[in-house]
Structures are given as C-alpha cells and as structure tokens.
Amino acid sequence: MNIVVIGTGLIGGSMALSARGFETKIIGVDASEENLKKAIELGIIDMAMPLEQAVLIADLIIISIPVDAAREMLPSILDTMRDDAVVIDTGSTKAGICGKVRNHPRRKNFVASHPMAGTEFSGPTAAFAGLFKDKKAIICEKELSSDFALKRALTLYKLLGMSVLYMSAEDHDKHIAYVSHLTHVIAYALSLTVQEIEKNEEKKIFEMAGSGFASTVRIAKSSSAMWTPIFRQNARFLTDSIDKYIDVLNHFKQLIAEDRTKELFDEIKEANRIKDVLKG
C-alpha cells in the first residue's frame, strides 16, 4: 500500500510514523523542500514526490496542511486520484471542507476526519509515533463516505491507537469552538496581555512566571500559519464562544471588584467540577 502524506509536520509526520504498521511505502508531499529533506532524514517518509505524481499512485492520501489550503486542494485530488483510493483530512474545521466537495462525484472516496491530538510545536522534528495513542478521532458525515473508505480510515485510526466518534460537520465545528479553538484564543490573548503590560520587563516575566502561567500560555506558541485559517473558517461558532467567555470573565470581574467572597468561592468550586467532567 502506498500512503501519501501531504504535509510532513507534527500531525502528518506523526501519522506517517504510526502508519508503519501498514507495512507500506510512505510518500511525502510538502511545499517545503527543507521539511521533505528532514522527514526523510528522520525516517518519517520513505521518499518525496510532487503532488501530481503522488496522487496517481496513492492508495491512501492524508491531507495534513492548514485548513484553508486543504479545502482548496481536496477537489483536485478527488479529480485525479484512482477510483479505489481513499483520501482523509486532519483539519480541525469540518463544515468548510465538507461543503466544498459535497456534490463531487468522488465524495464517497473522502473521509472527513479530525484526529484530536497535537502539541505547540510544528515541523517534522516535532513528529512522534505516540502522539495519537488513546486520543479521539472525529469522523464527520460518515453517511457520505463509502464503506470501503470508512474501513480504511478506521484501520488507520485503530493503528494510531485512537477511538472514533461520529457527528455532523456543523456539530463538530460548534463543539470544537469551545473545547479547542477558544482555548487557543485565550492563550494568545493572555500572552499578548502580559507582554503588553510588561513590555519592558520581559526578564521579570521569565523570572516570576509559575507553572500555572506557563501551562496556560503553552499553546500560545502554536503556529500562526495553522491557527489563523482555523479561526477564519470557524468564525461563526468561535465568536459565539468568545462572547460567552467574555460574559463569564465580566462576571468574575464584578465578584472580585465588589468583594462578593461567598459567590466567588462558589463559582470557583463549580469550576473545579471540570476534573470530574474530563474523567467522563
């Protein structure tokens, strides 16, 4: 089996490393020659190839590039790939890409998916085989994918050690706006806020920053090239989630400013329940 990985960074590279269980050839496609060279050097891919050539010999195509580029690339891949090939994407927005190919004659060959894993790092050097183990993968609009395509995608995700959830593209984007995209907005905003307040005191930030601050702003290191298109594509649900977060922030601000200690205590206790929610 030939697996073509388009985008050899953290997600694509980690999937390539984990997909070795297919006993197959991994072919890398990337706009960056440096990334391709590094991916070969690290054993992530077996060889590099131009997109047009790679698609023609692919059994499974994994699109792991920024969501705006993936959305534009997918129709031409479906146009040119073999009839028995399967293509999946890994983007964290689904409505846009699903809508782009909903009426494509080869829509059944496409599995719209989102493996929910990542770190704040990027590029081939960030890739590692265990990234997806025990994480969730979401597949959207499964009824529009063929049984054959779904089976191939599920085989891949099983190999990666992931469990699979199914939902509509709309529901995916709405829920992911709260549990992922809003988190990144908060991290970026906190980073900018502290840097603005302490713009001439960066050494003091470094000296004083505790583990709480560091863990909260960790994902503010995430790539702007990846996250700017995500925010654009999920703007409707993301702005709703930001409005709700601002309401909650203002509520906390009021409790603190008015010294309403008992209510503040109760809100923090309610927030503590998240540990049980996350345990399921």
The tens digit of pLDDT for each residue in 26-54 reads 999 999 999 999 999 999 999 999 999 99
In the predicted model, is pLDDT for residue 196 greater than 70? yes
Superfamily of domain 172-279: 6-phosphogluconate dehydrogenase C-terminal like domain (1.10.3660.10)
- For residue 167, the cross-strand partners are 140
Amino acid at 147: D
Q: How far apart are CA 65 and CA 76, in angstroms?
A: 15
- Name the band, by pLDDT with cuts 50, 70 and 90, for residue 202: low
Neighbours of 172 (CB within 10 A): 26
Tell me which of 245 and 214 has the higher pLDDT: 245
- For 2-167, CATH number? 3.40.50.720
- Name the band, by pLDDT with cuts 50, 70 and 90, for residue 23: low
Q: How far apart are CA 150 and CA 161, in angstroms?
A: 16
- Name the band, by pLDDT with cuts 50, 70 and 90, for residue 205: low
> CB-based burial of residue 32 (10 Å sphere; 0-12 exposed, 13-18 middle, 19+ buried)?
middle
Provide mean pLDDT across the span 105-117.
Answer: 97
Average pLDDT, the chain: 94
User: Model confidence over 133-158: pLDDT tens digits?
Assistant: 999 999 999 999 999 999 999 999 99
- Name the band, by pLDDT with cuts 50, 70 and 90, for residue 201: low
The predicted structure's pLDDT at residue 181: 97
149: its two tokens:
């395509």
Length of the chain as a residue count: 280
The predicted structure's pLDDT at residue 203: 65
pTM, to two decimals: 0.91
**CA atoms within 13 Å, Cβ hemisphere of 240:** 10
Q: Domain segments of the chain: what residues?
A: 2-167, 172-279
In the predicted model, is pLDDT for residue 78 greater than 70? yes
In the predicted model, is pLDDT for residue 208 greater than 70? no
Q: How far apart are CA 96 and CA 88, in angstroms?
A: 14
